[in-house]
Amino acid sequence: MSTAIRIGTQGWSYDDWKGVFYPPGAKQEDRLPFYARIFDTVELDTTFYHAPKATIARSWARHTPDGFRFAAKVPRALTHDARLRGVSELLQAFAKAMEPLGEKLGPLLVQTPAEFTCTDETLRDLDGFLADAPAAVRLAIEFRDASWHVDAVLDTLRRHGAALAWTEWRELARRTDVTADFIYARWLGDRREIAVYDHVQVEREDSFRAWEADLVRVIPEVREVFGYFNNHWAGHSPASALEMKRRLGLEWIDPRDRWSQRELF
């Protein structure tokens, strides 16, 4: 089985990237087309706050090439407000809103809040949420409390074909269990440490080495790998994503090599 490995960043529209990742003259509307020349996937953060209008989703699809994939965070109304309880219709509506992306839609990320802990009741809520999810969508679940790192939760995810998100976040213990036919990895860092995103500011060699080993170990077991870097992980997520691509033996492009293609600007 050939595994598709897609590494990108969490979002693409950062002013601090201008003149570093994006050409100095890049306009707002130039950013996604340029980004898609360097990476073949991105994680949408705006969807955490509300579903996109159809015109916006179609625009995203139109400005990216075939083979590009958008992962999307499900709205916080499902994860933080309702805590996954009684949200079947909301999830159906969100999946419907993402349909204009067509084949470019990747997994949906369910990011649970840090104070959402595993109990008998919340585990039943998770099971019901996954059972009611549309069959056409792939779900990755990110837990930010270690109480979810137990066999009963992993068994629930496997039963529904949902991926446990592999997450590096603050002091949370990282789990690298395979529960679906794809891996969803997130490198988050700490928002308290980094304020500008124009250069690498935190040395992550040990972490890179550990993640590389874990990913290489499971790549033969899954169909796809999706991985997304946040600016807060090391300071400049494009550099981190390109470094991980290099370590995994993937083709990567220096964004400055594309600056000379002036037809974009």
Contacts of 44 (CB under 8 A, 6+ apart): 11, 52, 70, 71, 72, 73
Q: Taking all residues of the chain, what is their mean pLDDT, rounded to a whole number?
A: 96
What amino acid occupies position 32?
L
pLDDT in tens, 151-168: 999 999 999 999 999 999
- The strand ranges marked E within 15-113 are 41-44, 69-73, 105-111
- Confidence band, pLDDT 50/70/90 cuts, at residue 21: very high
Q: With 90 as the cut, is the pLDDT of residue 229 above it?
A: yes
pTM comes to 0.96
CA nearest to 108, candidates 153, 57, 43: 43
Residues above pLDDT 70, as percent of the chain: 97
pLDDT confidence of residue 13:
95
Q: Which two tokens stand for residue 44?
A: 């949408």
Q: Residue 35 in contact with residue 13, Cβ under 8 Å?
A: no
- pLDDT for position 262: 52
109 near 74, Cβ under 8 Å?
Answer: yes
pLDDT of residue 263: 42
Q: What is the pLDDT of residue 193?
A: 81
Residue range 199-213: average pLDDT? 97
Question: What average pLDDT does this structure show over 114-136?
Answer: 97
Q: How far is residue 70's CA from residue 99's CA, in Å, rounded to a whole number?
A: 11
How many CA atoms within 13 Å lie on the side-chain side of 155? 5
Which has the closest alpha carbon to 201: 171, 227, 222, 230?
Answer: 230
Distance of CA 106 to the CA centre of its chain: 9
Q: How would residue 251 be classed by pLDDT, with cut points 50, 70 and 90?
A: very high
With a cut of 50, say whether residue 227 has pLDDT above it.
yes
Residues sharing a CB contact under 8 Å with residue 203, sequence separation 6 or more, in sequence order: 234
- Residue with tokens 């899954």, as numbered in its chain: 222
- Domain count for the chain, please give it: 1
> How far, in Å, CA of 12 to CA of 10, rounded?
7
Q: Which domain holds residue 65?
A: 4-264
Predicted pLDDT at 261: 53
* Percent over 90 (pLDDT), the chain: 93
Q: State the CATH number of the domain containing residue 243.
A: 3.20.20.410
Q: Give me the pLDDT at residue 192, please.
A: 81
User: Could you say which DSSP state residue 143 is in?
Assistant: -
Closest listed residue to residue 101, CA positions, set 64, 138, 65, 57: 57
